[in-house]
Chains A and B, each alone.
Chain A
């Protein structure tokens, strides 16, 4: 069964600290994996996209990793800011049939 699971479900960190969000998937055949940031009351916004051959990709303070063998991805946020408070959603797509599988997200709260 194609599934995407994220952990932790929620996370509270102090401003300036680093954190790592996890995404495990069983989607097959794998095409790519995206991380989205969803601010409260807004639609998700794409942070990174990773294909099978990519291990690491950075977007400013966000660094995503992908291990296609273990079917795991992580999103590392460096030097967190209050504006990082949001839900982070992992989305995995398949090569066939344009299927997108959404994780339930991690709710991140950055406190001063």
Chain B
């Protein structure tokens, strides 16, 4: 019973393509997040949704668009992929603002 599941685990794609990463949590959490982990292992928040409402939107290119159809899902769509988008993207969820995270296992995106 995976608590936070991301798909796909690996994604290799060419520059200029559009791709989506899906995230689902079965913990009943109200808040979900997307993080980007760079090559130096630094985790940086991208977006946060609380009950389907966007509450954190850090400075990321507008090529990145999160979509939350319900509070158990937070998908990340990326348009016109660039080489610099290559990274591991982590989805996470929490009971609410200020509570600890449960992370997904990550999606390794490679843009060639």
Contact = CB atoms under 8 A, between A and B. Distances in A.
A46 B21 CA distance: 24
Contacts of B56: 98
B101 interface: yes
B93 to A, nearest CB: 11
Contacts of B55: 98
B71 to A, nearest CB: 16
B101 A46 contact: yes
Given A93-B98, A98-B56, A98-B97, A45 B41 contact: no
A31 B43 CA distance: 19
Nearest to B48: A98
Interface of B: 4, 40-45, 48, 55-56, 90, 92, 97-98, 100-106
Chain A interface, DSSP helix/strand/loop, else mixed: strand
B43 A89 contact: yes
B105 A104 contact: no
Contacts of A44: 43, 90, 101, 103
A102 B102 CA distance: 15
B41 A107 contact: yes
Contacts of B4: 43
Interface of A: 31, 34, 38, 41-46, 49, 87, 89, 93, 98, 100, 102, 104-105, 107
A38 B41 CA distance: 10
* Residue of A42, A98, A105 with highest tally of chain B CB at under 10 A: A98
Given A31-B98, A49-B100, A98-B97, A43 B44 contact: no
Contact of B90 (A31, A43, A93, A100): A43
Nearest to A42: B105
A10 B74 CA distance: 33
A105 B88 CA distance: 15
Nearest to A94: B98
Contacts of B98: 31, 93, 98
A76 B39 CA distance: 26
